[in-house]
Structure formats: structure tokens, C-alpha cells
């Protein structure tokens, strides 16, 4: 592998590619947050209404 000089480095163009893996991981993360919010909200509602299942 050869080293590039300053002029060659200035000509390098890069980009951002959005892949299916990135979209899938973002969707899973959002789903996880939504499920966490639902379960937390349900737990809070059950506690405030004193509707907790006995162990």
C-alpha cells in the first residue's frame, strides 16, 4: 500500500451509504424503546390503580 501525498489526499471524496443493515438496526432500536415505554407505562398504571397480581 502506498502513501498518498497532500494533493492526492485533497482529491479523495467519501460518502455516506445507508445500508439495509443500518436501517434494520435503527428500526430494532426504535421498537425496543417503544416496547420499554409500553411496559413501563403499564407497570405504572397497574401500581397506581392497585391492580397488581399477587405472587
Q: State the residue for C-alpha cell 494533493.
A: 7
Helix, strand, coil share (%) of the chain residues, nearest 5? 60, 0, 40
Give tens-digit pLDDT for 8-17. Answer: 989 888 777 8
pLDDT of residue 5: 93
Set of cell numbers at residue 7? 494533493
| Per-residue confidence (pLDDT) for residue 13, from 0 to 100 | 85
pLDDT of residue 45: 92
Q: What is the pLDDT of residue 55?
A: 66
pLDDT digits (tens, 9 = 90+) for 4-44: 899 998 988 877 788 999 999 999 999 999 999 999 999 99
Question: What was the pLDDT predicted at 14?
Answer: 79
Amino acid at each position: 500500500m502506498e502513501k498518498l501525498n497532500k494533493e492526492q489526499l485533497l482529491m479523495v471524496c467519501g460518502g455516506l451509504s445507508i445500508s439495509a443493515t443500518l436501517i434494520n438496526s435503527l428500526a430494532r432500536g426504535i421498537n425496543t424503546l417503544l416496547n420499554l415505554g409500553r411496559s413501563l407505562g403499564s407497570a405504572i398504571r397497574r401500581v397506581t390503580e392497585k391492580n397488581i397480581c399477587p405472587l
